[in-house]
Structure 1
Amino acid sequence: MPLRNDPDAFERRIDRKLNASCDGIDMDVPARQVSSETVYTGAVFQVDDAVIALKDRQGAEHTIRRQILRHAPCVVMLVHDMSCDRYLIEREYRAGSDLFAYGLPAGLMDEGESVLDAALRELAEETGVVPDRNAMGIDHVGDFYSSEGMSDELAHIMVLHLGSFTQTERHFDADEHVESAWITWSDLTALHITSSNSMLAVQHEALRRLIAQHADDDNKPTLFA
């Protein structure tokens, strides 16, 4: 079996390379939380002030202090209408960038909610699009931390390929204002999207389209043997 097909063996090999630059901290030993205090609680997230112990190769502990933004996991989806080869785009105000930013349907997961259920709920609430689950393909792009140096927010990113869907009324929160529209692939790739999570989905779809195009080209008849 190739080493890369064995994730544990592959990571051990990479870790051995990294250990060559070790400054004494043993990164094979899990970090230990010494203390944690919630210093801010808001409507969407809380901030914890934590002291964390890292162990060195001699067994001694070294403490570091970090502020951690605690945030519910979220879903991000690029929605593809296969019948017209078009994509769903949104625009809304984003406080972090202070922009009316282009992006993709996204939202926070409710406690106990599955990733797919959260994605379809957010999609219906923000855009009114309700897919037929029996005529839908899903590309799971991956699960990524938005900013793992300071936040535990985990983004579940996917591409939804819709065979059929219905359009219903949108339902926004009181302080939520979102525009949405279907656009072509060329228009989507020309947009200046500033969200890294959205761009991961777009780049994943770009690769899928490229592979599909190459497959189509290979299957076209040629004039020369």
Structure 2
Amino acid sequence: MSDEAQDLQARLAAKLDGRDGQGPKGIDMTRAPELMDDREVFRGPIFVIDQQRVAMFRRDGSKETIDRQLIRHDPCVVMLVHDCAADAYLLTREYRVGAQAYVFGLPAGFIDPGESPVKAVLRELREETGLVPGPEDASASESHLDPEDGWIDAAPDVYSSLGMSDELGHIMVLHLRRWHQGSTDFDPGEHIQSAWVSWQELCAAGVADAKAVVAIQHEAIRRLQKD
């Protein structure tokens, strides 16, 4: 976070504090809460659930304890892919358990340990759609995007659901000047369809995943500024 952003957050915190930001029970929000207990109660292949007890301090020195459940989830990437020459966007469809249905969306995936968000974007794009930036006879890098092949426009990082999960989504728009089609490499049980669509078709597709919506809205702002 830049110094300017930190200064702004400090000013906003002070402004809220001046309007009884300490809360109805006198909670001192200038003092960080204390994690008193953290127990793992479930572990699955995708996420872990912890039962936590947290102490929130009051201005009179006393404290209040609250219980929360935290879903621990690896950080992820979501990418909106734009073919600059055709002015087309990559739309996907796959089964999503939250919706209990096949839904339209954007390429996405987990960030592997030690992997940068950009590297994860390029890897997941290749694995899920077979799309590789650059000409077919070039040796594509999975760690960065060559400026001749396109550029990445980073949207704000967002948490999926701050009230219960630590999943952080890194959202990017890939503007590709050159690309070629390779083979996909799906995970077991993963079945994804993908196709290029127009901007109007993308907006009308009914994409409902929050992180994908952020990516589409970020691109909508760029298109408005361009026009």
In the alignment, structure 2 segments of 5+ residues that lack a partner are 135-144
Offset from partner CA, 1:132-168 (integer Å, 9 cap, x none): 3222111100111000110000000010000101111
Cα separation, 1, equivalents of 2:128 and 2:30: 43
Which residue type is aligned with residue 181 of structure 1?
A
Offset from partner CA, 1:83-142 (integer Å, 9 cap, x none): 111000100111011121110000001000010010010000000001132221111001
Structure 1 residue 62 corresponds to structure 2 residue 55: no
Q: CA deviation at 1:174?
A: 1.2
Match of 2:177 in 1: 163
Give the stretch that moved more between structures: 68-77 or 132-141. Answer: 132-141
Match of 1:14 in 2: 12
| 4+ long deviations beyond 4 Å | none
Match of 2:162 in 1: 148
Cα separation, 2, equivalents of 1:120 and 1:9: 34
Which residue type is aligned with residue 41 of structure 1?
R
In the alignment, structure 1 segments of 5+ residues that lack a partner are 214-225
Which residue type is aligned with residue 74 of structure 1?
C
TM-score when scaled to structure 2?
0.89
Q: Which structure has the larger Rg?
A: 1
Structure 1 residue 39 corresponds to structure 2 residue 37: no
Q: How many residues were matched structurally? A: 209
After TM superposition, the structure 1 = structure 2 runs for residues 95-174 of structure 1, keeping only pairs within 5 Å, are: 95-132=97-134, 133-134=145-146, 135-174=149-188
Identity %: 45
Which residue type is aligned with residue 9 of structure 1?
D
Offset from partner CA, 1:54-105 (integer Å, 9 cap, x none): 1111222211100000000000000001111100010011101112111000
After TM superposition, the structure 1 = structure 2 runs for residues 82-97 of structure 1, keeping only pairs within 5 Å, are: 82-97=84-99
Match of 1:221 in 2: none
Name the structure where helix makes up a greater proportion of residues: 1
Cα separation, 2, equivalents of 1:47 and 1:101: 26
Structure 1 residue 50 corresponds to structure 2 residue 60: no
TM-score when scaled to structure 1?
0.90
Cα separation, 2, equivalents of 1:120 and 1:108: 12
Which residue type is aligned with residue 119 of structure 2?
D
